[in-house]
């Protein structure tokens, strides 16, 4: 309908760092807009503008929603796990381009179950990216 993939941009802010603790560090972007994609997990591409002026393009897997397994605040957030990337990007400006919806957001019974599903989501994202 848009003629292009949907994108959201914002500053990367520090979260609770739970993703890092479970082996999937994420870049968090606060959502202060009304028109966001359906909550869920997506394969994405990112364009990152670092404070030092460097520009990076990195693929990832994003969750947009309420994070029902780990947060009951009711505040929607966008979290992106960047694939094969391990740099500090706090304070950077990031554009997230949604490429493919993997699944709906869901609540898991434990952090271990969530971690296993994120691993599966990441494998699915890599497979999708390899073919597109």
User: How high is the pLDDT of residue 8?
Assistant: 92
User: How high is the pLDDT of residue 33?
Assistant: 65
CA 91 to chain centre: 16
Please give the class, per CATH, of domain 7-131.
mainly beta
pLDDT in tens, the chain (132 residues): 457 788 999 999 987 776 677 778 899 997 776 677 889 999 999 999 998 899 999 999 999 988 656 666 677 789 999 999 988 899 999 999 999 999 999 888 888 998 899 999 999 999 999 999
Per-domain residue ranges for the chain? Answer: 7-131
To which residue do tokens 């603790």 refer?
21
User: How high is the pLDDT of residue 65?
Assistant: 85
């Amino acid at each position: 309908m848009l003629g292009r993939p949907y994108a959201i941009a914002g500053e990367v802010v520090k979260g609770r760092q739970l993703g890092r603790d479970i082996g999937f560090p994420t870049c968090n972007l606060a959502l202060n807009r009304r028109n966001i994609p359906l909550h869920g997990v997506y394969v994405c591409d990112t364009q990152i503008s670092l404070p030092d002026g460097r520009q990076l393009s990195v693929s990832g897997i994003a969750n947009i929603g309420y994070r029902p397994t780990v947060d009951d605040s009711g505040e929607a957030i966008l979290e992106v796990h960047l694939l094969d990337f391990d740099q500090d990007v706090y304070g950077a400006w990031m554009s997230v381009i949604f490429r493919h919806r993997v699944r709906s957001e869901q609540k898991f019974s434990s952090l271990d179950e969530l971690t296993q599903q994120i691993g599966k989501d990441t494998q699915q994202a890599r497979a999708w990216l390899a073919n597109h």
